[in-house]
């Protein structure tokens, strides 16, 4: 389990590492107006075009992020803040650093992204997040939090941008259609770029969460492009809603090919289908290396297996015919 970093000196070192990693990607400096709750003003932000992301980092633990190229006329809204407590535990602060047993450092977030806006808050964001939450030992208790990025990862900025875009998607959906607060919008799935291929033998919780989001969002984009009304909530990774309002197709994504993880997906499929709300097909989406034996076991349960692979940042699925809606 990850352990929250609380000592002031270590938090400061982690913060310096974070700023160095973000700044290391360069970007275009822009002097623009930035608005936030209770105020706003002219600020210098850095626009990173490949990730559709801008940021403003400070020396005092306050860090603002936004999506889309900042406008030079008018005000730019902050999508989210990743702020840190300089010492100890402060659960009113969204961001925190944590480390694993090997000493690897991670950026996490408690999910407090509301900013005082109606229908937007931690509970809805947690439900809508398409990655996977991670557990952290935090000030004498165990807490589930949202992974942001691994400071060591070659995919660091892709992970960070994915988190910010997840916040943007949730806020947009909550504002446009309050009926579906906490579910994903059908036209706003963000698929970040990343470099390299992950080694399954060194697959940590944050990398796993990022891959889960990458696969889920890519799948959602494919289904949406084919006319499906795609949603997600705390019970389902993805589902397709029929015209009658019933859930017609359900997808559960697993980033591990191990039998125990696949059975977790199976359990979720049946647990949340027991109410009768799910009337159609069930799918488990898992890595290409998932065994044929597991596929046969799933068939006996009337669950179909979709395998995925990631090559140079792109997710592909097989068999493709299963994605017809």
pLDDT (tens digit per residue) in 259-316: 999 999 999 898 876 555 555 789 999 999 999 999 999 999 999 999 999 887 789 9
pLDDT at 69: 95
pLDDT tens-digit map of 222-262 = 998 888 888 887 788 998 877 666 777 899 999 999 999 99
Structural domain count, the chain: 2
Are 105 and 21 in contact, with CB atoms under 8 Å apart?
no
pLDDT at 180: 45
Beta strands at 80-81 and 63-67: parallel, antiparallel or unpaired: antiparallel
Same-domain status, 252 and 171: no
Domain closes at, from 123, 145, 175: 175
Same-domain status, 239 and 257: yes
Which 8-state DSSP code applies to residue 224?
Answer: H
Q: What is the mean pLDDT of residues 81-90?
A: 80
Range of the domain at 237: 182-323
Cβ count within 10 A of residue 152: 16
Residue 39 confidence (pLDDT) above 70: no
Same-domain status, 286 and 170: no
Same-domain status, 168 and 232: no
Same-domain status, 112 and 79: yes
Are 158 and 207 in contact, with CB atoms under 8 Å apart?
no
Same-domain status, 136 and 265: no
Same-domain status, 117 and 227: no
Same-domain status, 282 and 170: no
Are 217 and 249 in contact, with CB atoms under 8 Å apart?
no
What SS3 class is residue 311? strand
Domain closes at, from 140, 157, 175: 175
Residue 136 confidence (pLDDT) above 90: yes
DSSP output for 51-99: GTEEEEE-SSS-EEEEESPPPSSSEEE--EE--B-SSS--TTSSEEEEE
Q: pTM (2 decimals)?
A: 0.85
Same-domain status, 171 and 203: no
Q: Give 48's pLDDT tier (boundaries 50, 70, 90).
A: very high
Same-domain status, 84 and 149: yes
Same-domain status, 23 and 162: yes
Domain closes at, from 175, 197, 227: 175
Q: What is the mean pLDDT of residues 17-41?
A: 88
pLDDT tens-digit map of 108-117 = 999 988 766 6
Same-domain status, 99 and 211: no
Higher pLDDT, 138 or 181: 138
Q: Give 176's pLDDT tier (boundaries 50, 70, 90).
A: low
pLDDT tens-digit map of 163-175 = 999 999 888 877 6
């Amino acid at each position: 389990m990850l352990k929250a970093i609380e000592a002031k000196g270590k938090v400061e070192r982690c913060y310096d590492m974070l700023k160095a990693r973000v700044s290391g990607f360069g970007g275009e400096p822009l002097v623009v107006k930035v608005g936030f709750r209770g105020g706003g003003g002219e600020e210098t932000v850095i626009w990173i075009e490949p990730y559709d992301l801008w940021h403003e980092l400070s020396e005092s633990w306050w860090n603002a992020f936004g999506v889309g190229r900042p406008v030079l006329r008018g005000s730019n809204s902050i999508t989210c803040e990743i702020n840190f407590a300089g010492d100890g535990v402060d659960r009113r602060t969204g961001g925190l650093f944590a480390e694993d047993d090997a000493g690897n450092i991670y950026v996490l977030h408690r999910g407090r992204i509301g900013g005082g806006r109606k229908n937007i808050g931690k509970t809805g964001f947690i439900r809508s997040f398409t990655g996977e939450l991670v557990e952290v030992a935090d000030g004498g208790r165990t807490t589930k939090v949202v992974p942001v990025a691994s400071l060591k990862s070659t995919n660091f900025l892709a992970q960070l941008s994915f988190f910010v875009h997840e916040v943007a998607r949730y806020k947009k959906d909550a504002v446009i259609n309050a009926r579906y607060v906490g579910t994903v919008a059908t036209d706003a799935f963000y698929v970040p770029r990343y470099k390299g291929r992950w080694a399954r033998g060194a697959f940590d919780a944050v990398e796993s969460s990022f891959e889960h989001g990458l696969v889920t969002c890519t799948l959602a984009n494919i289904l949406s492009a084919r006319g499906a009304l795609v949603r997600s909530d705390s019970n389902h990774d993805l589902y397709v809603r029929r015209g009658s309002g019933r859930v017609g197709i359900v997808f559960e994504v697993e980033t591990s090919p191990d039998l125990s993880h696949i059975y977790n997906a199976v359990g979720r499929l049946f647990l949340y289908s027991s109410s009768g709300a799910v009337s159609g097909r069930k799918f488990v989406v898992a890595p290409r290396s998932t065994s044929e034996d597991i596929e046969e076991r799933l068939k006996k349960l009337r669950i179909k297996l979709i395998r995925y692979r990631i090559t140079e940042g792109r997710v592909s699925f097989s068999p493709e015919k299963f994605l017809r809606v």
